[in-house]
Amino acid sequence: MANQSFIPPQRILMGPGPSDVSPRVLEAVGRPTIGHLDPAFVGMMDDMKSLLQYAFKTDNALTFPVSAPGSAGMETCFANLVEPGDKVIICQNGVFGGRMKENVIRGGATPVMVEDEWGKVVDPGKLEDALKANPDAKIVAFVHAETSTGAQSDAQTLVKLAHQYDCLTIVDAVTSLGGSPLKVDEWEIDAIYSGTQKCLSSPPGLSPVSFNEHAAEVIKSRKTPVQSWFLDLNLVMGYWGSGAKRAYHHTAPINNLYGLHEALVILKEEGLENSWARHEAMHQALRAGFEAMGLSFVVKEGDRLPQLNAVTIPDGIDDAEVRGKLLNDYNLEIGAGLGALAGKVWRVGLMGHAANRHNVVYCLSALETVLSQLGAGIEKGVAVEAAMAKL
């Protein structure tokens, strides 16, 4: 094994990401590497921008993929928009709001936390209280699709509120982009970041971002330089900017960009709204199966993300043992709970290419088999039948 070619096992990825990558995208990643200033590559970059604008539903000129995973998209937003001494309101209802707080503190600014219970959506009433109590706040940040719990907050309402109090907005759409309704221009989101390995089903390592003119203006009129050289948009734009001379900034992850481009072409072929509808339909089938099996959802109906299904683990069942059996005996990956939910829930993803009928049925039958082997009191056969009835 050691020092030989690494041949990964063939898995089915139904966790919180990465999701299954389609053979078309994998084939694209394997195409010949060319120079990152090659005119052919630059042409692909322009097309990539228009595809990302399509996926985000935006006309923002400042739309491109940051050369690093979703967390770097988050840092790009905070590092460029926040200056030392600023006050930033962060709505936290899971793991990822905690990372936003870290970004604000490390940028020398002051976070004001608006906390909601894990599994709940962000409460607009609490945000409004915080906006009233902090008239000097400059930015409101929140997670649209909280992958740690499967809760989907009302981004449009939260952004509207923030604007009423003259705050800019930073929205985490790592798990929502491509999987559930997201309308950057219509909802007037100022700055947004996402990832490739969730509902876009491209390999991890890139973070699509988009900034409207208001956000771009704030970046241009900063009093202090952006503390990160790599993520400073004033510099990155020399490479990705429209009409830019494509000056060297860093060597783009060329082959990974081929993959994202192909994934976006696939999304456009299917149609964005059709992709949202497919995620919802697969969720409804999976949900029927889970409920027939007696598993209950962490998030209440109406607030659930179709692409991330957090369900409670039956009493007396060992979390790690079940996930281990699924992986080893069925090549199936599902996710563990995080933080307060560790050991209590499973997180089953239906993201991008992985949101299909085969996966829904396969996951339910494998889980049902493993659970009955381990003595969970579940009725066998009912889950798949309930899901099939929805398909």
Ligand X SMILES: *Cc1c(COP(=O)(O)O)cnc(C)c1O
Angle formed at CA 72 by CA 71 and CA 74, multiple of 5 degrees: 65
224 alpha-carbon distance from chain centroid = 30
Closest residue to bound ligand X by CB:
70
Interacting residue with ligand X among 58, 60, 92, 175 (CB under 6 A): 175
What is the β-pairing status of strands 308-312 and 345-349? antiparallel
Interacting residue with ligand X among 15, 178, 195, 208 (CB under 6 A): 195
76 to 105: interface string for ligand X, x by CB under 6 A: --------------------x---------
Minimum distance from residue 206 beta carbon to ligand X (Å): 9
Residue 258: closest CA among 9, 32, 70: 32
Beta carbon nearer to ligand X, 173 or 272: 173
Minimum distance from residue 112 beta carbon to ligand X (Å): 20
Tokens in use for 249?
């900034």
Residue 63: closest CA among 75, 79, 83, 77: 77
Tell me which residues in 296-325 interact with ligand X (CB under 6 A): none
**Considering the rule CB under 6 A, would residue 15 count as an interface residue with ligand X?**
no
Q: Which residues pair with residue 297 across a beta bridge?
A: 311
| Coarse DSSP helix, strand, coil percentages of the chain, rounded to the nearest 5 percent | 45, 15, 40
Candidates 65-73, 130-138, 228-236, 370-378: pick the segment binding ligand X (CB under 6 A). 65-73
Interacting residue with ligand X among 65, 69, 150, 203 (CB under 6 A): 69
How far is it, in rounded angstroms, from Cα 224 to Cα 9? Answer: 48
Candidates 32-40, 120-128, 167-175, 248-256: pick the segment binding ligand X (CB under 6 A). 167-175
Residue 4: count of CB within 10 angstroms of its CB: 6
**Considering the rule CB under 6 A, would residue 71 count as an interface residue with ligand X?**
yes
Q: Which amino acid is at 330?
A: Y
Rounded to a whole number of angstroms, the CA Rg of the chain reads 21
Candidates 78-86, 170-178, 180-188, 226-234: pick the segment binding ligand X (CB under 6 A). 170-178
Beta carbon nearer to ligand X, 128 or 303: 303
204 to 223: interface string for ligand X, x by CB under 6 A: x-------------------
How far is it, in rounded angstroms, from Cα 288 to Cα 53? Answer: 34
346: Cβ contacts below 8 Å, ≥ 6 apart = 310, 311, 313, 319, 322, 323, 334, 335, 336, 337
| Long-range CB contacts for residues 343-346, cutoff 8 Å, separation at least 24 | 343/313, 343/319, 344/312, 344/313, 344/319, 345/298, 345/310, 345/311, 345/312, 345/313, 346/310, 346/311, 346/313, 346/319, 346/322
Beta carbon nearer to ligand X, 19 or 60: 19
Beta carbon nearer to ligand X, 104 or 361: 104
Beta carbon nearer to ligand X, 228 or 369: 228
SS3 298: coil
Residue 200: count of CB within 10 angstroms of its CB: 29
How far is it, in rounded angstroms, from Cα 328 to Cα 347? Answer: 18
Minimum distance from residue 124 beta carbon to ligand X (Å): 19
Beta carbon nearer to ligand X, 170 or 288: 170
Tell me which residues in 321-380 interact with ligand X (CB under 6 A): none
Applying CB under 6 A, the site for ligand X has a residue count of 12
Interacting residue with ligand X among 75, 116, 172, 190 (CB under 6 A): 172
Interacting residue with ligand X among 51, 100, 143, 161 (CB under 6 A): 143
Candidates 47-55, 157-165, 168-176, 236-244: pick the segment binding ligand X (CB under 6 A). 168-176
SS3 13: strand
**Considering the rule CB under 6 A, would residue 241 count as an interface residue with ligand X?**
no
Tell me which residues in 145-164 interact with ligand X (CB under 6 A): 147
Minimum distance from residue 197 beta carbon to ligand X (Å): 6
Binding residues (CB under 6 A) for ligand X: these are 17, 69-71, 96, 143, 147, 172, 174-175, 195, 204
